[in-house]
Structure 1
Amino acid sequence: MARHTHGTGDEGYLLDNRQVEAGERFTALSQLFDPSTFRHFETVGVAEGWRCWEAGAGGTAVPAWLAQRVGSAGHVVATDIDTSWMGRAAGFAVLRHDVATEAPPPGGPFDLVHARLVLVHVADRDRALRSMVEALRPGGWLIVEDADPALQPRICPEEYGPAQELANRLRRGFRALLQQRGADLAYGRKLPRTLREAGLADVEADAYFPITSPACAVLEEATVRQVRDRLVAAGLATHEEIERHLANIAAGGLDLATSPMVSAWGRRPQAAHTAR
């Protein structure tokens, strides 16, 4: 779940893994989205002996689940441009790797390649996607999961008071910072078409987002603390507004949502093909 941004002409990825809040965000994202991700792994039939590549893993929860499922006969490699949150991996290999610029990692061809909250932040998304498709064995599955903030742009879907209005205004500022760094805030909805155009078959997709959850509050607090200085520097918020928003979160009266997470999956055909 760590991100890659190249060629945007700005300061790189907005939510840098090296910041202390990154760990809090990884934990919250795992609580929010791992059940949906694991459901999709079940859908494509991840089983003992599979070879899997978790691209942009960030933390350990997803590759650890895969490693347990594929067992000693299988192989899981977790890659990221920053592996500092991996710790001591158990049951899977960890490799520093940039999916946007490098060839697929060793260990393939893979039965499964998975990326969550990665491509939305990559400047050359098409190249990164091609790399993942090329790493699949014939019949192997690619699962890509990415947010679509433009589908549901509010952090508080019901904007019924000043606290909710402030939260949504800060969220608009956060989205502006993401766009400045090359993020495609409408990328999630494009995934089904993108996977078909890459040559995959049996493409399906769904979407999920919580409307309120304790983990949403943890995620929002960590995100705001991580980007507060950039929001202020860009004139998108004041320190006082940010402190007020953080106090509103702590008071527990906000129904905080996430952007829809669109999950799309497809299979590399058995016949040889060239991904576009």
Structure 2
Amino acid sequence: MSAAPRGDAPGGGRYGEAVFRPEQPGEDERIDFGALAYDDTSMARLRALGVGPGWRCLDVGAGTGTVSRRLLAEAGVTSVLAVDRDVRFLGARPLPGLDVLEADITAPGSVPGRFALVHARFVLMHLPERDRLIRALAELVAPGGVLVLSDAVDLTSDLVPDTPYSAAMRAMWRGLRDTIGTDVSWVPSYPRLLREAGLVSVAAEIHVPALLPDSPISRFWADTWDRSRAAMLATGLVDDAAVDAAVRYLRSEECAALSAGMLTVWGWKPDES
């Protein structure tokens, strides 16, 4: 999971400041649990799109840099520019071909150049002005290149049975929306937004990792609830005991639930030749 760039929220908070502060001990481990759950799927899609030698890539909201590093080590791309608003988890792990830029992608002109691949995962869902940012990211794609965006899709609908897990997830989404502006309700509109940004051959897919006891995704959600607990409690939907019960439920064989899905959408910049 990525440390998202700066963005104003309805509640006045920002990712990395109001919650998920990078200086908080263990935040890099929380991000890496998400990476363990989703990186293989992200890399399989990027390889299927032909990402490989000769490609110059941009990884937005790179977090701990797991995708950036795998692009270099496994896909053999020429270079990766890893961008984040806080790069403390990137700069400590140098790698040939990996360049690190501390920047706020919500600011126009914050990232120089154009790239064969522009990739952002779990970033835009935390930011306002999403339509504008998708257009801005599409502008960073070189002709013939591809934009790949991944964000969460909430599967805890009103039709899901009430369990400690579903109660915690509903409180988390509402608490993050109220605190830092996170909003996943618009994520299914990604394909249309990429088409409106001028991209072609747009397609999308969803991956839902299995919620198993002590799995990376289960540990990710437990850590995420712990770090966003104050925002969850402020919704009035849960109390401390309910959050603790949800963590125990995740760790038990009784857990039978769907994690949030990761919707990935991609579109190509028409070649100007």
TM-score range, shorter chain: 0.7 to 0.9
**TM-score computed with the length of structure 2 as normaliser:** 0.87
Alignment check: 8 A CA contact 1:21 1:223 kept = no
Which runs of no fewer than 5 residues in structure 2 stay unpaired?
none
1:100 to 77, 100, 106: 106
CA distance in 1, matches of 2:209, 2:183: 21
CA distance in 2, matches of 1:76, 1:244: 42
Say if 1:17 and 1:256 are closer, same or farther in 2 by CA, change over 3 A.
farther
SS in 1 for 2:165: helix
**TM-score computed with the length of structure 1 as normaliser:** 0.86
Say if 1:4 and 1:166 are closer, same or farther in 2 by CA, change over 3 A.
same
SS in 2 for 1:46: coil
CA distance in 2, matches of 1:32, 1:112: 22
Alignment check: 8 A CA contact 2:30 2:224 kept = yes
CA distance in 2, matches of 1:53, 1:75: 9
Aligned to 1:80: 84
Q: What displacement does 1:69 show?
A: 4.7
How does 1:6-155 map onto structure 2 within 5 Å? 6-10=7-11, 11-13=13-15, 14-69=19-74, 71=76, 74-86=78-90, 87-91=92-96, 92-106=98-112, 108-149=113-154, 152-153=155-156
Alignment check: 8 A CA contact 2:190 2:265 kept = yes
**For structure 1, which segment, 26-35 or 193-202, has the greater mean C-alpha deviation from structure 2 after superposition?**
26-35
Render the CA deviation track for 1:78-115: whole Å, top value 9, x for unaligned. 00011122222312011111112242523x32110000
Amino acid across the alignment from 2:175: L
Amino acid across the alignment from 1:217: S
Q: How many residues align?
A: 262
Identity %: 27
Render the CA deviation track for 1:56-79: whole Å, top value 9, x for unaligned. 0101210001122564x8221000
Which runs of no fewer than 5 residues in structure 1 stay unpaired?
none
Matched, 1:169 2:167: yes
Say if 1:254 and 1:67 are closer, same or farther in 2 by CA, change over 3 A.
same
Render the CA deviation track for 1:175-203: whole Å, top value 9, x for unaligned. 11122232222232111111000000111
**For structure 1, which segment, 44-53 or 12-21, has the greater mean C-alpha deviation from structure 2 after superposition?**
12-21
SS in 2 for 1:241: helix
Q: What displacement does 1:266 show?
A: 0.8
SS in 2 for 1:113: strand
CA distance in 1, matches of 2:60, 2:166: 31
CA distance in 1, matches of 2:75, 2:216: 29
